[in-house]
Each structure stands twice: as C-alpha cells, then as structure tokens.
Structure 1
C-alpha cells in the first residue's frame, strides 16, 4: 500500500509510520516541524520529509490511504487536496482498527494507568515469546517501536486513549477500536478543553462500554466507584470481571506481592501500580496466560518510560520522574513513594503543564494531591498559560487549590533549578512529576546533585 501521513512527526504518528514501513508498506509524510526522537527515528528509515511544510502536490490519486494526525488543522492544504481527490482518509485510531478488525482486539481504557497496564501485558507476552500486535503510549524496554503490526498475529493490544481522533473526527480514540476484551482502570475528570463537564467526560466511558463486541468481556477496577457504577449499569451483552488491589507489603523499601507460592518481590511499587498489575493479570488470563506464568514474567517488569522511572540513587537518596499530571495520578504517585520509603523525607515537585491543569476552573481538583509529601513544590510557566489562551493564574490561586500553607511555587525555570540543586537530599526521596520538563530541566543532571 502507498500511505501518506499528514503530520508524521507526532509521537504516535511516527511510530505508526515506522511500523507500517517495517511491514513493507510504502510510506511518505509531511509536517511543519519534527523534533527528536521522532526526527532521528524517521531519518534512520528514510521517512523524514525532505522539507518542512505542507505540499498538496504530494497528494496524488494513486495513494491508497491518508492518515491524518491531530497536529494538523482542518484546513490543512494536503487534507483539502485529499478530499478533492476523494482519497480514503483515516484518523490514527481508524487505521489501527482497519489493521486489526480480523484480530482479537484488547483495549485498555481509563483516565490513568492505561500505559502501565498495556506495558505490563506486553512485557508478559514478550517474556513468554507470545507474538502480538500492539500500540502503546510509551517506549518499552525490549521493544523497537510503540506500534507493531503484522498479518499473522491473533491479538492486537491497544492503549485506549479518550482524547479526540483527528481534527475532522471529534470522537474519542477508544470509541473506534470495538474491543473483544476491554479493561477500565479508573475515571477521573481530564481534558476539560474537550469535555467541559465531569458528566460529559464520564459519558465517553459509558459509550466505550457499548462499543465492546457482543459476547466480549470487560475487566474493571471495582475499587473505583465511578467505574463500578457504569460497568454494573451497562446492559451490553458482555461478561464482567471485577478486580481489586492484590495483597502486598513493603519491607525495607522492597514491595512483596502475595501469591499462591508466597511473597514475591517485584520491581514496581505503589497501590495504584499493584492495582494495575491485577488488571493486567486478568487480561493476560483471558489471552491464555496462566497465573503462575504471569507472576514469573511480571517479577522482571521495571515500568514504562516516565512512569515512576528511577533516574538517580545514592546510599541515602533516590530520585524518580513520573508522567503524573492529573490530580488522581499525582495523589497516587506521591503516596506510593512515601509508602515505599516512609523513613525518608519526600520532596514532591509537580509541573502544571497541561490545558486542564492550567485552567483556573480545574485547579480545585488538586486539593490534597500533594499531602503525602513532606515538602511540596509546584512549577508552572505563565508563558504556557498565555500560549494556551487561558486566564492568568496567581500564586495565591495555586496555594489555595492545593490547600497547603507551606507550598512552594515557582514560575521561573532558573529559580526552580537553583532551588532543586541547592537542596540537601540526604535521607530523601525526590519525585519529579510532569508531562513537560520544568522549562528545560535536564533530568540526567539530577543525579549529580543527589548527595
């Protein structure tokens, strides 16, 4: 097939382009800017556009498909040309469904935990040499790309994102996959630029349940009251499998999972990760992996990239970075690190970086999210607020939202870096939570200051 990508440089888009190239398809693409790692990875396969910009002349009648990325606009010149020629235009999730419609589709949904659960499943399959197609939202150890497509594999494991499909398709991505096996980890309001009310957001997950194929299965986190409510209320003809956090204990900074063979040490930690692990175990079971084989494999799982990823450690200090930005994930991640190292001081730093987190109307959702930290720090960029076209946020609003009198707030990257690098981290756990980089923080440098 001859396939052209409009906005090939995105994290998801370039991985799909690489996967299709590896499958033997003929790939071209355009974008107005491409940054690393996408740039170097596309370049290595000869897929990086020769010039940045949009070129309608690239859109020709002999193309079999156009894949449209979210970065493109609805009036994109290449998109308009493709419509003019009557070419088949797919959103990213539409195309993934097209590639997997004859397979058993396993879709992992939820406001949080999707990437980790999907990563756990893929790790277990990889460990036992079980080949599956997949799409996951993070780079995994042992996997070349975040997307893998074949003709022959029976299963397709998909991370089910609730964000929009494309500039011309306003449906959430996970509405398009039509799972045979689905998982729902939790529901906590997010993406308020698209779903302005909590009720509107929850509705997307209710629709997701209706998209499960008749006779399919939903595995759901019974500890999340909203998930429990909507799954138990659905009248879809599907099997329902609830799960809860398995028994575990933390001994001298090591997490031990209770199994039928006794306590088993695992690499990941925190109640939310143990909850994710149990969901993954159920999915793997429905995919044919026995419980003992799951435990053998999961003992070696170190986590997905940027999900409680250890970046530095000394004899008396440890530092993690995490993608956490939603209130529920910030709360769970902060509590997890404190529980893992209860005798150490916890310095938790959060960057407010997403549209939702920088919205004054949403800020109140963060109340208590950093309570488990001994020292709580929040960084945000007024410039980012301006770029997103949001109302100005004052330091007092941040302090009131988190409901901590001792909260430290930074708006200048240099001031934040100075603060961080002048701390005494002896007997301390440092947690850096962000979907950004605090205005230019080099995470590799952190290890030089952990003393």
Structure 2
C-alpha cells in the first residue's frame, strides 16, 4: 500500500504515519512546518521530507490513499491535486477505521478524561498480555508511539469530538463505529465549531447512535446531563453505568478499597478515580477481573502532562497538567487540594485555546479557581495577536472568574518572575495549560524554585 500524508507533522498524523510504516506501507508526506517531537521521530524512521512545504508532484496516480490532516486548508495544492486525480482521500480517523474495521473497537469519548482512561486501559491490557492496537492522545511510558496498527483483534481508540478534517466536518469519534463506546462526561468545549451547548451535546447523542447494534455504551452516571442523554437514547445498545469507587488517602497516597482490600495508587484525584472506574468497566467487558485490574493499576504512573509531577522536595510538589476547560480546571485544583490538605496551593492556568479565549465562553470559568490559595491566570499577548483577538484586562479576567483575588499576567517573563519570588514552604505549584507557557521549560523552572 502507498499512502501520502498531507499535514504530516501533526501529533496524531505523524504517529499514524509511523504506524503504517511499521506495518510495511510505503509512506510519504508533506507539511509547511515540522516541529519537535514529530520532526525527530519522522526522521528516525526515514519519513521526514527533505523540504518543508506543499508539492503537488508528490500526488502520483499510483497512490492507494491520501490522508488529510486538520492543519491543511481546503485550497491546499496537494489536496486539490488529489481531488483532480480522483485519489481516495481520508481523514485520519477514517483511515484508522479502515485499518480496524475487522477488529473489536473500543472508543473512549467525553469532554474530559479521554487520554487518561485510554492510557489506563492500555496499561492493564499490556500487563495482562493482551494483543491489541491503539490510538491515544499522549505519549505513554512503555509505548513507543501514540498509534499502533497490527493484526491484533482489538483496538482501543481515544475518540476526540473535534472535526475530522478540513473537508470532513464530522467529529472524529463519529467515524469509528464502536463495539464498546464510553462517554466520561459532557462539558461544553470547542465553541468555534459548536457555538451553543445544545449543538455540542448533540454530537454525543450521534456518537451513541454510531455504536454498532447490540454493542455496549459505558457512561458516568454521576454526570447529570450525560445520564439524561443516555436515558433518553433509544439505540439498540447495552447501557452500563459507572460511578466513583471507595477510596482512602493516607500520607499523600490514595488507595482504592475493593472487597475490604487496599490497592495503593501512584495517581490521585476524584476525577482520576472516576477515570479508573471507567477503565475498569471496559476491562471487565474484555474479561479482566476487578482484582487483577486494581493490581495492574498500582503501577500506572499517568499519561504525560496529566497531573504530571515535574519536581518535588520535602515541602513542595510541582505539577503540570493539560487542564484548560472549566471542568478540567476545577477538577485538577480540587484533586491537589484533597491529596495535600495541609499544603497551600498556587494554581496557574494559561488560557490558550480558541474557546477559552472567547469572551462569551470565558464566563464558563466562574469560580473554578476558588479552591486555590493563590490563583493566577496567564494569557500570552503574542497568542492573541496570532489569533487576531482583542487583549484582556486584569479586571475582565477577575470578573469572568468571579474572583477579585486572581493575579493576571499577559507576559511570560512577568509571570515566571512572580512565581520565582514566591515562598514555597509547605506549598504545591500547579501549572495548567494545553499550550506551552510561551515555550517555557517548566521542568527547568521547577528545579530553580525547588
């Protein structure tokens, strides 16, 4: 098989390219820019193009497929050439389905927790020596790539609700046709595509309808909106609910209690325990007993950037987390406060996504940082210029968060100068963003304050 990737440098795209290369496909690709880690990883497998840019001459008639990334635009010259030559064009979720249509497909959806739940399932399946393929949105310890496609009978897919490609406006998770579909919860996101909560909610109703007949829908019954959506749905699927498990916290260590036995964990937080129950429910459906699941989870360290410990000493832990939406922000802050009730918490959020920077959506952050002892909001002015958006004042941010004590920064150097001068005695620092804090080396910064 010969396949060509348009916008090959993306996170999912370059991992899919490597997976197909490993499967024996002849893979080519293009992009206007290649950044790390995709640049080095593609180069390692001999897939990095000599030149960046778009080259219509790469679209040859012998191609079996063109895989189109979201980064490309509708007038991309390679895309236009493929359309003119009548070559089959897939979005990456379409092509993942094409490669897994004969497998049992587990699709993990929801507004939050998708990566963590998928990671937990993969960890347990690996411990149990299952043969499986996967697509996950973060680099995991013990896994070389974020995508694997082999002859395994089973695939676990993180099902994003964002759009499939520039010419396919369907959410990605609609395309996988799950045998087992999971929804972790619903909280409005992607306002640039789903301008109302109702339009966003509808995507999850459609996802349920895409689960194959007599398949399974696993869902969190503690999410009131999700529970009603599932109750009202009449699809021919088996509905299986999950909820928070029994647990205890001793000396900063969270343990699950199952059949009067404790299973100590390396991860913590109420949202992660819910994620764990979601993963357990999936694994039980695949034949893994609860006791074996919890034993395997004792060695699970978490996915990259998900409450990731990047530095610590006897009095301070520094975490970075992918939290960016209101629900993720409040859940992550609550998790750290609950795990370390006798420590102060300095919580800093970088608002980076289109939704979080939208003046209307910003109101959704009301009171989400109230549990932090010091709450800091950072909006990089350079990002606003790039997105052609108006800058924010400190007062606008305080009003949106309904918190007059919030400290606001719009320059990274000012933010990190402030953080560097704080007293971290008996205090944790939580740095949250789906961006990069203006390219700051967070691990290096953690070392300086510790």
Between the aligned partners of 1:4 and 1:211, the Cα distance in structure 2 is: 28
Tell me if 1:112 matches 2:112: yes
Between the aligned partners of 1:392 and 1:319, the Cα distance in structure 2 is: 29
1:82 corresponds in structure 2 to 82
Contact 1:417 1:441 (C-alpha < 8 Å) held by counterparts: no
Between the aligned partners of 2:444 and 2:60, the Cα distance in structure 1 is: 48
Aligned length: 450
Query: Pairwise CA RMSD of aligned residues?
Result: 0.9
**Tell me, what secondary structure is at the counterpart of 1:24?**
coil
Deviation sequence 1:149-205 (CA, Å, 0-9, x none): 012x11110000000000000000000001000110000000000000000000000
2:285 corresponds in structure 1 to 286
Between the aligned partners of 2:396 and 2:145, the Cα distance in structure 1 is: 41
Tell me if 1:387 matches 2:386: yes
Between the aligned partners of 1:226 and 1:394, the Cα distance in structure 2 is: 33
2:228 corresponds in structure 1 to 229
1:48 corresponds in structure 2 to 48
2:359 corresponds in structure 1 to 360
Deviation sequence 1:58-97 (CA, Å, 0-9, x none): 0010000000000000010000000111001000100000
Between the aligned partners of 2:359 and 2:208, the Cα distance in structure 1 is: 31
Contact 1:312 1:450 (C-alpha < 8 Å) held by counterparts: no
**Tell me, what secondary structure is at the counterpart of 2:169?**
strand
* Range that drifts further, 139-148 or 422-431: 422-431
Deviation sequence 1:408-441 (CA, Å, 0-9, x none): 0000111011111111211011100011122132
Contact 2:394 2:407 (C-alpha < 8 Å) held by counterparts: no
* Range that drifts further, 22-31 or 381-390: 381-390
**Tell me, what secondary structure is at the counterpart of 1:441?**
coil
**Tell me, what secondary structure is at the counterpart of 2:5?**
strand
Between the aligned partners of 2:424 and 2:439, the Cα distance in structure 1 is: 21
**Tell me, what secondary structure is at the counterpart of 1:12?**
helix
Gaps of at least 5 residues in structure 1 are none
Deviation sequence 1:205-246 (CA, Å, 0-9, x none): 010000000000001000001110111111000000000010
Contact 1:314 1:450 (C-alpha < 8 Å) held by counterparts: no
Between the aligned partners of 1:196 and 1:395, the Cα distance in structure 2 is: 26
Shift in Å at residue 265 of structure 1?
A: 0.7
Between the aligned partners of 2:190 and 2:135, the Cα distance in structure 1 is: 21
1:425 corresponds in structure 2 to 424
TM-score, normalised with respect to structure 1: 0.99
Contact 1:312 1:446 (C-alpha < 8 Å) held by counterparts: no
2:373 corresponds in structure 1 to 374
TM-score, normalised with respect to structure 2: 0.99
Shift in Å at residue 392 of structure 1?
A: 3.2
Query: What are the residue-to-residue correspondences of 1:187-198 with 2, within 5 Å?
Result: 187-198=186-197
1:207 corresponds in structure 2 to 206
Contact 1:93 1:176 (C-alpha < 8 Å) held by counterparts: yes
1:343 corresponds in structure 2 to 342
Shift in Å at residue 127 of structure 1?
A: 1.2
Contact 2:263 2:295 (C-alpha < 8 Å) held by counterparts: no
Shift in Å at residue 261 of structure 1?
A: 4.7
Shift in Å at residue 394 of structure 1?
A: 2.0
Runs of 4+ in 1 over 4 A off after TM superposition: none
* Range that drifts further, 369-378 or 437-446: 437-446
* Range that drifts further, 437-446 or 60-69: 437-446
